[in-house]
Homo-oligomer: A and B are copies of this chain.
Amino acid sequence: MVPALAELVEHLKSLPGIGERTALRLALHLMKRPEESLRAFGDAITALSKLSYCPECGMVTADGLCPYCSDPRRDSTRICVVESIRDVLSIESTGDYKGLYHILGGVISPLDGIGPADLNISPLLERICSGSVSEVILAISRGLEGETTSFYVAKLIAPHNVEISAIARGVGFGDDLEYTDSVTLGRAIIARVPFKL
């Protein structure tokens, strides 16, 4: 293989979930693109090194505070605690939340060797201690590990006079009961709510 192509295949292969064949397919697909398109793509990858993480919440930022933490229109009395940056973007896409975020960067998972010390927790406590926060919303999913993490975070926050809530759990809107896992379905029945007419 031509060295320049082989090199790109190696780079593409280094991405998670992309194997040798897919990497080659992608590289050959890219070869058909015009020079300016390739340059823009290449520059976009190189430009990532200019980004960093928000010191307050852990979100991706170009410089200093992230777009959420630095937005004065957002409700800074509420902090939604999530596992990952992707969770922030998922919640943002709903348009139903206007508060701030805090990204833990993972969940407690002893089997994977991830303990509380590996999570980004202290900046959250600092913000809570500063006194401007009135509610912390736990939005950590992922089953048992997520619950363990929620419990751990809640215990840490509890002594500080803030309301602690968690996102509602239950059967998804439009989900088929037949294909809903039994833990979710069982808990949804136990946690049933009055039907409003």
Contact = CB atoms under 8 A, between A and B. Distances in A.
Contacts of A67: 1-2
A174 interface: no
Question: At the interface, is chain A mostly helix, strand, loop or mixed?
Answer: helix
A14 B60 CA distance: 22
Residue of A16, A33, A41 with most chain B CB atoms under a 10 A cut-off = A41
B60 A2 contact: yes
A30 interface: yes
Given A25-B16, A26-B15, A26-B16, A8 B85 contact: no
A194 interface: no
Contacts of A3: 62
Contact of A29 (B8, B11, B16, B38): B16
Copies of this polypeptide in the complex = 2
Interface residues of A, number: 47
A66 interface: yes
A162 to B, nearest CB: 28
A62 B66 CA distance: 43
A26 B45 CA distance: 11
Contacts of A50: 4
22 contacts: A1-B89, A2-B60, A2-B61, A4-B44, A11-B44, A15-B29, A25-B86, A27-B48, A28-B60, A28-B84, A28-B85, A28-B86, A31-B60, A33-B48, A33-B49, A38-B45, A38-B48, A39-B46, A41-B45, A42-B45, A42-B46, A45-B45
